[in-house]
């Protein structure tokens, strides 16, 4: 198999960092070419063949009475199905899709049908795991599940001190990893997990959701299959406790293969999305297709028209409800962007082996305790998929459109680039938390930012895209984000050399190679045609935003860290990434700070009380492999108060504080996901309102699945909640 590029950063004597990119032959090579994937080369896929599909709205199944009031009620299943992701004429792709329980196969798509929710009108959903075949037997995962991580551990393989439990890291003692074709002896070998697949769905960005309804990673459940192997648990460690809590509070019970949850919908208008969150395999199940939009409509459009001082008019679509109309999104387009790789038979490709990432061939855990056999630290697909199709096109009229973008990639950061559409106006009006305090005129930003919109994994935004002054013809929406390890910064232009210099502060300069211009450098095409109607929506220049009230001063400040663990193996001078972590910092910025590394299994360290406003300062300390981490905090949304350069001296432990840097465009208002760049501290302010057990984590899904996730608790420990697990030994070397 062709090897992925190996890319890492090495400190130089001057204290700067040099960027090294290694090819399969171990020699530095140029970047900006097609990246490796499955057996189907991305260049064999014709672009702009299929017309964009915008997910229709899922009709509700009825209403239910809940403690929050009358709720819209839905039943949604996850099933295996096929869809035409590649252009017509090429093979179909097997995906895992959300769809209405009992609905026809055509209603199961990836992304799934959207939910349209109204602010303060609750929603109740019964989620069912239907990952079974037509004989009722469980379906294995589409991709290699790594059983050496701290994961759901469905087979309950023993952990430290012989502990038998789900949701622990098994020791796999005395066993050596082999690929499935070489697996013969369960006493001395282990291989990929191919059993029934646990799922649990999280509504990303939903505020004030109780923990029983938040998709806690240890509240997963298997499908109701007739051949669950002996010794396999059907539910995660937190299932019983949260099941009983939901039953007690809402009167609705959970059962084999299904879970019902209740959302209060106290958010402002914004674009939420839901996706799988099962412990240690989220990256794989989301890659298989488990993601959909959840569009939260406000009681009114929060934006004013400066000419009238009344509510502005947003570009609208016709009512676009599944089963009631033929699909017609009108001028309201929800766009989920995902990078994917394919094999010649149309199947999705995701690496089954660590060697795809950096050529490392083993030994693996537990022999080489830091290195899991299947997990890769990051993965970049070599095609761009929008709403479940590779490189679609969309016909747009010379008028204004409301576009809600979602970066649903696992690792990839998008730099959407509108520069190739002369005459277009682009206004960012909302981010993931709702409408901004200040609109952003994207085409008038300064320097390299002009025409570009950055989207970290899991971030969303809403753009008003105005084609009124664009000449008819075909235009490409491009992506100038990175194809490989991403250090932050800006894309190289005109053959510029990539570079990463973080220190000294006044010389900070980060330039990365942009995506391959022929493949992942393109997102989709717009075919601009005349418009014969009258566009009554408010032009961007007249939009007047309503700033959010500021949160009061915090009752406490927490100092937290993102770190990464590396291992030197054999004589190889380059360290191998082992796992990513969050941590707690002790000491004062500017002086010595000590890092308390924390893993998923460690006891809760962040424990606000209900109603508390807290500041979280998150320090990205990974300077020898500079990776920005998109941090997501459940239950709440935050103000971004500060970005500041930092430099942590790993030898002396001194945290040097540098100058403050401006917030990025579109970071006003509230957010639920935010990048923390390498060598940077970001300060977030938020209020916690709902008692219970939640998670905060990196949303780079490969990181999230391997320890870069922490439980946190609002309020006191709950009577009867599952106890802490013994912390497992993980190498904490840096």
Q: Applying CB under 5 A, which residues contact Cu ion?
A: 629, 698, 700, 703
Q: Provide the terminal-to-terminal Cα distance of the chain, rounded to the nearest Å.
A: 30
- Report the SS3 class of residue 370: coil
Q: How far is the CB of 498 from Cu ion (least distance, A)?
A: 20
Q: Which is nearer to Cu ion, 629 or 643 (CB)?
A: 629
In the complex, the smallest distance separating the C-beta of residue 622 from Cu ion, rounded to whole angstroms, is 9
Phi/psi for 83 (5° steps) reads: -150, 160
Contact 394, 51 (CB under 8 A): yes
E strand residue ranges, 58-122? 62-66, 69-83, 93-100, 112-118
Q: How far is the CB of 527 from Cu ion (least distance, A)?
A: 37
Shortest Å, Cβ 677 to Cu ion: 12
Please, which residue, 112 or 351, has the CB nearer to Cu ion?
351
Residue with tokens 């305790």: 369
Distance CA 653, CA 110 (A): 47
Nearer to Cu ion, 401 or 696 (CB): 696
Report CA-CA distances (Å) from 215 to 233, 274, 409: 18, 10, 20
Looking at beta carbons only, is 630 or 711 nearer to Cu ion? Answer: 630
Residue 305 CA to residue 319 CA, distance in Å, equals 24
**Which of 559/629 has CB closer to Cu ion?**
629
Q: Record the tokens describing residue 677, joined without a space.
A: 């760049």
* Structure token digits, residue 244: 């009983």
List, in order, residues 6 or more apart from 551 with CB less than 8 Å away: 613, 639, 685, 686, 687
Helix (H) or strand (E) holding 620: strand 613-620
CB nearer Cu ion, residue 243 or residue 703 = 703
Tokens, residue 142: 């589409």
Question: Toward Cu ion, which CB reaches closer, 72 or 707?
Answer: 707
Q: What DSSP string runs through 286-325?
A: HHHT-EEEEEEEPSS--PEETTTTEE---------BTTTS
686 or 700: whose CB is closer to Cu ion? 700
CB 395 within 8 A of CB 467: no
Q: Which is nearer to Cu ion, 126 or 703 (CB)?
A: 703
Burial of 604 (0-12, 13-18, 19+ CB in 10 A): middle
The least CB distance from residue 703 to Cu ion, in Å, is 3
CA–chain centroid gap for 126, Å, is 23
CB of 700 to Cu ion, least distance (A): 4
Least distance CB 267 / Cu ion (angstroms): 25
Nearer CB in complex with Cu ion: 228/698: 698
Radius of gyration of the chain (CA): 24
CB of 580 to Cu ion, least distance (A): 5
In whole angstroms, the minimum distance from the beta carbon of 698 to Cu ion comes to 3
> Least distance to Cu ion from the beta carbon of 485, Å?
12
The least distance separating Cu ion from the CB of residue 8, rounded to whole angstroms, comes to 16
Q: Residue 400, Cα to own-chain centre: how many angstroms?
A: 29
Phi/psi of residue 289, each to 5°?
135, 0
What's the order of all strands across the beta sheet hosting 291-297?
112-118, 291-297, 270-276, 201-204
Nearest approach in angstroms of CB 564 to Cu ion is: 8
Q: For the residues of 545-614, what is the DSSP string, one character each?
A: --PPPPPPPPSEEEEEEEEEEEE--TT-SSPEEEEEEEEEEEE-TTSBEEEEEE-TTSPP---PPTT-EE
Nearer to Cu ion, 478 or 703 (CB): 703
Nearer to Cu ion, 132 or 700 (CB): 700
Separation CA 366–CA 543 (nearest Å): 58
CB of 284 to Cu ion, least distance (A): 17
**Which residue, 85 or 456, is less far from Cu ion as judged by CB?**
456
């Amino acid at each position: 198999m062709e090897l992925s590029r190996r890319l890492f950063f090495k400190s130089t004597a001057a204290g700067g960092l040099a960027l090294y990119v290694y090819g399969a032959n171990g020699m530095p090579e140029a970047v900006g070419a097609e990246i490796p994937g499955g057996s189907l080369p991305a260049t064999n896929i014709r672009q702009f063949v299929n017309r964009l599909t915008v997910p229709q709205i899922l009709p509700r199944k009825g209403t239910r009475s809940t403690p929050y009031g009358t709720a819209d009620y839905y039943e949604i299943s996850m099933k295996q199905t096929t869809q035409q992701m590649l252009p017509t004429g090429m093979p179909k792709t097997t995906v895992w899709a959300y769809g209405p329980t009992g609905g026809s196969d055509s209603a199961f798509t990836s992304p799934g049908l959207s939910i349209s929710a109204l602010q303060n009108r609750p929603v109740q959903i019964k989620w069912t795991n239907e990952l079974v075949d037509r004989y009722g037997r469980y379906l294995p995962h589409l991709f290699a599940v790594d059983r050496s991580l701290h994961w759901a551990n469905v087979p309950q393989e023993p952990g430290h001190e012989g502990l038998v439990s789900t949701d622990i890291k098994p020791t796999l003692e005395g066993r050596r990893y082999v690929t499935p074709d070489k697996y013969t002896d369960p006493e001395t070998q282990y291989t990929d997990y191919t059993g029934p697949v646990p799922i649990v769905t999280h509504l990303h960005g939903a505020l004030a959701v109780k923990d029983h309804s938040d998709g806690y990673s240890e509240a997963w459940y298997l499908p109701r299959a007739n051949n669950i192997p002996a010794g396999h648990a059907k539910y995660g460690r937190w299932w019983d406790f949260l099941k009983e809590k939901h039953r007690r509070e809402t009167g609705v019970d959970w059962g084999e293969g299904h879970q019902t949850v209740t959302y209060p919908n106290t958010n402002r208008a914004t674009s939420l999305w839901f996706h799988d969150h099962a412990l240690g395999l989220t990256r794989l199940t989301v890659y298989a297709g488990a993601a959909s939009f959840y569009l939260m409509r406000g009681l009114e459009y929060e934006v004013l028209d400066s000419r009238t001082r009344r509510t502005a008019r947003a570009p609208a679509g016709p009512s676009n409800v599944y089963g009631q109309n033929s699909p017609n999104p009108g001028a309201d387009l929800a766009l989920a962007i995902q990078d994917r790789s394919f094999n010649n038979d149309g199947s999705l490709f995701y690496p089954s082996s660590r060697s795809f990432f950096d050529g490392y061939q083993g030994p693996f855990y537990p022999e080489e305790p830091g290195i899991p056999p299947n997990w890769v630290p990051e993965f970049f697909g070599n095609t761009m998929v929008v709403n479940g199709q590779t490189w679609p096109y969309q016909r747009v009229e010379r008028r204004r459109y409301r576009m809600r973008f979602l970066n649903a990639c696992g690792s990839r950061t998008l730099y959407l680039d509108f520069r190739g559409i002369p005459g277009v106006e682009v206004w960012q009006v909302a981010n993931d938390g709702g409408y901004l305090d200040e609109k952003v005129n994207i085409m008038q930003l300064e320097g390299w930012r002009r025409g570009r919109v950055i989207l970290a994994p899991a971030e969303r935004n809403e753009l008003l895209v105005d084609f009124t002054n664009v000449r008819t013809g075909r235009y490409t929406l491009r992506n100038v984000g990175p194809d490989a390890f991403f250090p932050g910064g800006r894309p190289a232009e005109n053959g510029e050399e990539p570079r990463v210099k973080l220190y000294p502060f006044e010389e900070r300069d980060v330039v990365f190679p942009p995506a391959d211009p022929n493949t992942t450098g393109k997102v989709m095409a717009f075919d601009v045609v005349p418009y014969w109607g009258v566009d009554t929506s408010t032009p961007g220049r007249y939009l007047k935003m309503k700033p959010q009230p500021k949160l009061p001063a915090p009752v406490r400040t927490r100092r937290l860290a993102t770190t990464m663990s590396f291992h030197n193996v054999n004589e190889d001078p380059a360290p191998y990434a082992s796992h990513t972590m969050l941590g707690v910092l002790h000491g004062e910025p500017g002086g010595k700070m000590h890092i308390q590394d924390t893993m998923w299994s460690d006891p809760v360290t962040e424990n606000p009380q209900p109603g508390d406003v807290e500041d979280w300062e998150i320090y990205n300390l990974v300077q020898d492999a500079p990776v920005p981490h998109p941090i997501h905090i459940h239950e709440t949304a935050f103000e971004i108060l500060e970005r500041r350069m930092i430099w942590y001296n790993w030898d002396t432990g001194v945290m040097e504080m540098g100058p403050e840097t401006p917030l990025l465009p579109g970071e006003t208002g509230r957010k639920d996901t935010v990048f923390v760049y390498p060598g940077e501290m970001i300060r977030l302010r938020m209020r916690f309102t709902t008692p219970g057990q939640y998670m905060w984590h990196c949303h780079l899904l490969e990181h999230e699945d391997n320890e870069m996730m922490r439980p946190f608790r609002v309020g006191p420990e709950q009577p009867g909640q599952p106890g802490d697990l013994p912390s497992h030994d993980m190498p904490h070397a840096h």
